[in-house]
Amino acid sequence: MKKILFLGVIILLSIDSFSQTIYQTENNSVKWYTFEEAGKLLNRNPRPLFIDTYTDWCGWCKKMDKETFTNPVIIDILNSKFYPVKFDAEGKEKITFLGQTYINDGKYGNAHQLAAALLKGQLSYPTVVFLTQDSGKIGISPVPGFRQAGEMEVLLSFFADKSYKTKTWEDHQKSFVGKVK
């Protein structure tokens, strides 16, 4: 009887440990949304959108996925302060976002119409796009190029903390104290 009780306790502890491991693993990654999901969330609880615009062939995009978007500080900021969207700039799907429908019709080479709109015609990858809404006006701020975690943290804080409203980018960088090591 003691062996069965002991075995039951071991199994329960193992299950609890396993469920905590799953929870920790799920919380140690960015929760990427689709444009449709992000649009619905914006209506309920406004936050800035962070759009990672990438392509399948882009080596720097893959490097940023592997090195930057796996950093715990970056994951925490993206999941708590933004609605992060991962967007294949050469994808073929039709996307309806903020009341407008976009397709990949070949007009911009391999690029999707939405990619051309978000990147303001400057199609380079990776490019992260910050979509902010202030007083009903939507601001689109594309930032091209690979960013290491420390650089990304400064950039994320500029938009998450709404520093862009009161400071220049240069002043924000000078005063910023980050957590990325």
pLDDT value, residue 4: 43
Measured CA distances, 14 to 22, 33, 43, 79, 163 (Å)? 12, 32, 41, 29, 46
pLDDT value, residue 98: 82
Q: Is residue 181 included in any domain, yes or no?
A: no
Rounded Cα–Cα distance for residues 48 and 51 (Å): 10
- Amino acid in the structure at residue 161: D
pLDDT value, residue 136: 64
pLDDT value, residue 156: 96
First-to-final CA distance of the chain: 52
Give all strands (DSSP E) within the chain, no chain letters: 49-54, 83-88, 95-97, 100-102, 127-134, 137-144
- Tokens of residue 151, six digits: 């650089």
Q: Is residue 37 included in any domain, yes or no?
A: yes
Q: Is residue 22 included in any domain, yes or no?
A: no
Q: Is residue 5 included in any domain, yes or no?
A: no
What are residue 161's DSSP bridge partners? Answer: none
The pTM of this model reads: 0.82
CB-count exposure of residue 16 (10 Å: 0-12, 13-18, 19+): exposed
> 86 in helix, strand or coil?
strand
Q: Is residue 139 included in any domain, yes or no?
A: yes
Mean pLDDT by 10 residues, the chain (181 residues): 40 34 55 94 91 97 97 97 97 91 93 95 95 78 96 95 92 92 82
Q: Is residue 58 included in any domain, yes or no?
A: yes
pLDDT value, residue 22: 31
Rounded Cα–Cα distance for residues 94 and 43 (Å): 21
Q: Which domain holds residue 121?
A: 30-175
Residue with tokens 């299950």: 15
pLDDT value, residue 135: 58
Q: Is residue 12 included in any domain, yes or no?
A: no
Q: Is residue 51 included in any domain, yes or no?
A: yes
pLDDT value, residue 27: 58
* Number of domains comprising the chain: 1
Rounded Cα–Cα distance for residues 140 and 50 (Å): 10
Domain of 59, CATH number, reads 3.40.30.10
